[in-house]
């Protein structure tokens, strides 16, 4: 049967590709989903993830083209190659979904998240929090004599790292936007 041996796997671009669908390795993927901005479209996307047992690590959504009624949903999810391929295909068949891009495999992408951190501290800890904020290029957007709110943008990893450092200095509250991502280049 050697004559019938062909490569495993598929993609929308050609009949075959080389990805290993049998891989058990789970990886984080960032998906950009361009949807018709109509009522319930987010519920359809979320319902798909919960109904089929997929993970959502982060999700952001906002209108990006008011005239064209387009919104962009950025989803960070986790799964094996086969699961990610299935998520893409399932998203693609939702009627108001126009495009689905896997920014992790299709192209190198810029990923950014914005976060607000409230730190309550006095004395040396207060000074240290300001010093670290400076290193992370976080800016102070609110301050009282006992607290700061820092605004920071960056990759999720950078924000995680900042949170770790701030925790012992009096971090009391965090608000994160989730990931926004765009493919690099043209």
- CA–centroid distance for 82 within its chain: 19
Nearer to another protein by Cβ, of 51 and 123: the residue is 51
User: Are the CB atoms for 152 and 159 separated by under 8 Å?
Assistant: yes
Nearer to another protein by Cβ, of 80 and 120: the residue is 80
Question: Smallest gap, in angstroms, from Cβ of residue 17 to another protein?
Answer: 10
User: Are the CB atoms for 100 and 92 separated by under 8 Å?
Assistant: yes
Question: Smallest gap, in angstroms, from Cβ of residue 36 to another protein?
Answer: 7
Question: Smallest gap, in angstroms, from Cβ of residue 16 to another protein?
Answer: 8
DSSP states of 61-78 as a string? EEEEETTTTEEEEEEEEE
Question: Smallest gap, in angstroms, from Cβ of residue 13 to another protein?
Answer: 9
Nearer to another protein by Cβ, of 68 and 168: the residue is 68
Question: Smallest gap, in angstroms, from Cβ of residue 55 to another protein?
Answer: 18
Residues making contact with another protein (CB under 8 A): 1, 3-10, 12, 14-16, 21-22, 36, 39-40, 43-44, 47, 51, 82, 85-86, 89-90, 92-96, 98
**CA-based angle 146:177:61, to the nearest 5?**
155
Smallest Cα–Cα separation from 80: which of 29, 27, 20? Answer: 27
Nearer to another protein by Cβ, of 56 and 130: the residue is 56
- The length of the chain is 186
C-alpha Rg value of the chain to the nearest Å? 21
Nearer to another protein by Cβ, of 44 and 125: the residue is 44
């Amino acid at each position: 049967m050697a004559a019938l041996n062909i490569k495993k796997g598929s993609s929308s671009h050609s009949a075959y590709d080389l990805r290993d669908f049998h891989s058990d390795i789970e990886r984080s993927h960032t998906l950009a989903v361009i949807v018709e901005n109509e009522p319930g479209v987010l519920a359809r996307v979320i319902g798909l993830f919960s109904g089929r047992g997929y993970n959502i690590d982060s999700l952001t959504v906002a209108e990006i083209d008011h005239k064209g009624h387009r919104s962009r949903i950025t989803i960070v999810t986790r799964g094996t190659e086969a699961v990610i391929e299935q998520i893409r295909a399932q998203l693609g068949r939702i009627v108001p979904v126009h495009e689905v891009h896997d920014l992790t495999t299709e192209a190198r992408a810029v990923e950014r998240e914005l976060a607000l951190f409230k730190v309550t501290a006095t004395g040396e800890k207060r000074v240290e929090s300001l010093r670290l904020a400076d290193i992370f290029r976080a800016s102070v957007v609110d301050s009282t004599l006992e607290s700061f709110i820092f605004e920071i943008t960056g990759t999720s990893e950078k924000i995680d790292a900042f949170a770790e450092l701030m925790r012992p200095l009096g971090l009391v509250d965090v608000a994160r936007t989730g990931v926004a991502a765009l493919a690099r280049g043209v």
